[in-house]
Structure 1
Amino acid sequence: MRTKIRLLLFTLSLFTTSGSIWAADDVMMLFTAAQSGNIERTQTLLTNGVDVNGKTTSGRTALMGAAFSGNVRIVKLLIAHGADISLTDNNGNTALGDAAIFGHEEAVKVLIAVGSDVNAADKNKLSILTKVNRAGHKNIAKLLETAGASEGGGDAEEE
């Protein structure tokens, strides 16, 4: 009897801590749909109440996935559904940083226009501009500088 009560309490705790025992799967489905460019699936998941700001185990959001892949339509869709542009993953990376570092100029423009922090730095204190310059994306570096970005080297720049 005691084991059954413990199991019941454990099951109930899953619902109260995450809202759904499937919440993590839902977030991963949204992340995957956004990163792969599947706008219909992304829209369906959002309509069905999947948390637009939910994070994968590595701290990645659907907005980060869309920005990483340069899926501008999905970036705009997620922002329209309340995606938080300031969230960071477990390494301190942002959606703007992902779009910038991987050379997705249009996604960078959208994220800057909605107020993304152009001076965000990762856990190594490397700024987006520093990483973009290292990647050789001159047009994106100019966009960031025009928006007020500055270099930030952190620990990794001392190499």
Structure 2
Amino acid sequence: MEPSIITVLNDQANHELLSAHCYEAMAYWCQSRDYTGFAKFFFAQAAEEREHGARFFKHLLDRGVQPKVGSIEAPRGEFTSLNELACYAQKLEQQNSSNIRQCYSLALEAKDFDSQPMLMWFIGEQVEEEAWAAKMITLVARAECAGSIYALDRHIVKEFEDG
């Protein structure tokens, strides 16, 4: 593998772990405000992001490269509202999408045919991730009163189960 590909794939694996860390902090923020449905959703997102990081690391291992797990900065843990939190989640997913597209572009340039299928899977995955983030912002914005937010919190996990 070309060193440039190794670097971007390893960096993206670590970025996935950072995203997991961020989602876990968001889940705890939600829990502390009794948004248990949102907390459950974000804990699940954290687990998914850890799996994504592991997938990048495994790809490197399968190709004979020792992955480098980096340090993770402290995630943002304070938000003024559920809307601000949802917007932050969207920014996380948009950054992930941008990073993965950069990895894919580099893999194309380097003719790293072995990395391209994995990265295409992630590109498809990011379409779904950005879709739920945009939908969450819309749903939170529509829930203008406490009763609506309570109902949304109770059903948020189900809202995203079916795609």
TM-score (norm. length: structure 2): 0.25
TM-score (norm. length: structure 1): 0.25
Q: Which has the higher contact order (CA 8 A, sep 6+)?
A: 2
Q: Which has the higher helix share?
A: 2
